[in-house]
Structure 1
Amino acid sequence: MSTSEAAVRERLTRALHERGEEIADRWVELQMEQALLDTDIGEAELREEADALIEALVPGLRSGVPVDRVVTSTPGLHEAVVGLSLRRARAGATPTATSLAVLALKEALLKAVQRDTRDAEELFASAVFMNRLLDVAGALSFETYVEGREEIIRRQSQQLMEQSTPVVRLWRQVLAVPLIGTLDTARTQVVMENLLQAIQDHEALVAIVDITGVPTVDTAVAQHLMQTVNAVRLMGADCVISGVRPSIAQTIAQLGIDLSTILTRATLADALAAAIKLIDGPGPDGDEGDDR
């Protein structure tokens, strides 16, 4: 580390110690003035973020780590930037606004340094150092934001799939899963998990997979259906596929897909009647009607 860089680090550290509250206030003010936030994040939360980041900057500056690795190598500083970015992602701020909010700290820091020195060379060296330091923080905040939003989207997609594939109890020991839309690998996994858990919870003996809302059945969809059927059978239950329309039946026949080992019915009502026969014999004349 050169003597000039060491002096810059010491100058910035002193400014953070002596003028930390002033820097935090100015940083919050800049974010609000420049309309960098289009969220419901309030001034109090912005101030908490500012205090945490400013406090974490001090050990980073005092370390011997090169300036372009200070943010990523200082645990507290790295955590502060990541935490800020994730909160902005959850609040709906844009990644650009999040990065610019972090970069706005440069102006607040430089203003604090100007109170200690008016020397042009010292100010220039401080500005260059802060640019290198906080540009990394800005890039980290952008990357973290993107990863955080992707995780939120994945979680929301998972929740949507779970909600769009409900398991319904139709009769004593008879469950049904009405499928709507495309049945892909990810959705098949959700369907199987929900259905198998429901079979265990309700001690079901028959599971009906209704494909009335599935627009087309190709080889891939048929394979996914077979996987679901096999999983249900491993749980000791029978499986009935309902909603096999004429067009679906024709497509399955043309593709040469063998569903002969699976009980299929044209409608959900027919499937329910078949399920009752599987449980109670030829007809629903027992006491099942009282336990629907």
Structure 2
Amino acid sequence: MTAHADATRRRVHDLLRAEEERILQRWTDLAKTSAEELRDLYRALRLALGDERDDLADVRGLLAELSRERARQGHTPSDTARVVFCLKEAVHEAVASDGSAEALKGFIWFSRLIDDLGLYTFEVYATAREKIILDQAEQLLELSTPVVKLWEGIVAVPLIGTLDSARTQVVMEKLLQTLVETGAEHAVIDITGVPAVDTQVAQHLLKTVVAARLMGAECVISGIRPQIAHTIVTLGIEFGDIITKASLADALAYALSRSGAEISTPRRTRIAVRTEEV
């Protein structure tokens, strides 16, 4: 920074210090917010301008906190940036009252600095929103891929919606973790709620079945509707030796029989299950 530029900067800093209460009150009025919300930010900025190292870390930290807080309150990023930009008008009034050439030239430099800080609030807001969206997406994945215990030694994964790579990974992790925790030897993957099955979806299902087999669990895929069966045949998709059933009830009956349970259907459509003693 040249001696002249340094002089203009010092003049702005002197004005911010001498006219602090006046500028802060005017800034509060223009931004339509409380002085408590802006006072710490103002003083951090004033101290940073008096520091020859150009260290704005504290200012940016307070701006990030202000941006996140106002985002939680429902304000838009434009609202927060506008609060920052209002400081220029408040400082310009003090500069105009001073009237010196150094103050006027210093205000141009100060105005550019405030523009950069206002844009910084946009960056903070965008980053915060992106994190919120990613967290919500992960939560939705967790909620949309439950693993439930159907019977002793039998668990099920009811799938609803499109099955993509990210969701397959969640399904696989949750299923394997449940197999470890329960010691289940049979897993039913129900795709009744999956709207369509293409080659990619089929590959995802096969990966999940292979992963479960490595854990010592036998898998059954249920929910093969006529339309899906027709698509699978048309695409030439091979499930190999994987057992498939039309409904979850059929898959459960198969898994029960494989686990050693005897199933009978007496009159009145009641189902009795008797587990063989070992």
Normalising by structure 1, we get a TM-score of: 0.81
Q: Which residue of 2 aligns with 1:110?
A: 92
Measure how far apart 1:161 and its partner are: 1.8
Q: Deviations over 1:220-267 (max 9, x none)?
A: 111111121122222222221110111111111111111122121110
- Taking only aligned residues, the RMSD between alpha carbons, in angstroms, comes to 2.5
Q: Is residue 244 of structure 1 aligned with residue 224 of structure 2?
A: yes
Q: Is residue 96 of structure 1 aligned with residue 84 of structure 2?
A: no
Q: Deviations over 1:181-223 (max 9, x none)?
A: 1111111122222222222233322221111111110011111
Measure how far apart 1:28 and its partner are: 3.4
Q: Deviations over 1:37-72 (max 9, x none)?
A: xxxxxx56x734x2332233234313445xxxx5xx
Q: Is the 8 A contact 1:28 1:47 kept in 2?
A: no
Give 1:133's match in structure 2, choosing from 103, 113, 116: 113
Amino acid across the alignment from 1:285: R
Aligned residues: 268
Q: Is the 8 A contact 1:25 1:47 kept in 2?
A: no
> Structure 2 CA distance, aligned partners of 1:118 and 1:269?
84
SS of the residue 2:274 aligns to: coil
Q: Is the 8 A contact 1:161 1:187 kept in 2?
A: yes
Q: Deviations over 1:141-186 (max 9, x none)?
A: 1122112211211111111121122222221222222111111111
Amino acid across the alignment from 1:58: R
Give 1:57's match in structure 2, choosing from 45, 48, 53: 45
> Structure 1 CA distance, aligned partners of 2:28 and 2:210?
58
Which range is displaced more, 241-250 or 225-234?
Answer: 225-234
Amino acid across the alignment from 1:157: A
> Structure 2 CA distance, aligned partners of 1:30 and 1:188?
52
Q: Which has the larger radius of gyration?
A: 2
Give 1:167's match in structure 2, choosing from 116, 125, 147: 147
> Structure 2 CA distance, aligned partners of 1:151 and 1:123?
42
Q: Which residue of 2 aligns with 1:14?
A: 14
Q: Is the 8 A contact 1:239 1:263 kept in 2?
A: yes
Measure how far apart 1:120 and its partner are: 5.2
Q: Which residue of 2 aligns with 1:2?
A: 2
Measure how far apart 1:10 and its partner are: 2.0
Which range is displaced more, 17-26 or 277-286?
Answer: 17-26
Q: Which has the higher contact order (CA 8 A, sep 6+)?
A: 1
Normalising by structure 2, we get a TM-score of: 0.85
Aligned positions of 1:134-283 closer than 5 A: 134-281=114-261, 283=263
Amino acid across the alignment from 1:54: Y
Q: Is the 8 A contact 1:86 1:145 kept in 2?
A: yes
Amino acid across the alignment from 1:60: A
Measure how far apart 1:287 and its partner are: 7.7
Q: Which residue of 1 aligns with 2:67?
A: 85
Amino acid across the alignment from 1:165: T
Gaps of 5+ in 2: 264-272
Amino acid across the alignment from 2:145: T
Taking only the aligned residue pairs, the percentage that are identical comes to 46
Q: Deviations over 1:20-47 (max 9, x none)?
A: 4554444333222xxxxxxxxxx56x73
Alpha carbons of structure 1 residues 203 and 87: separation in structure 2 relative to 1, 3 Å: farther
> Structure 1 CA distance, aligned partners of 2:94 and 2:173?
58
Q: Deviations over 1:98-151 (max 9, x none)?
A: 22222122223334555xx52153442232122111111112111221122112
Alpha carbons of structure 1 residues 88 and 202: separation in structure 2 relative to 1, 3 Å: farther
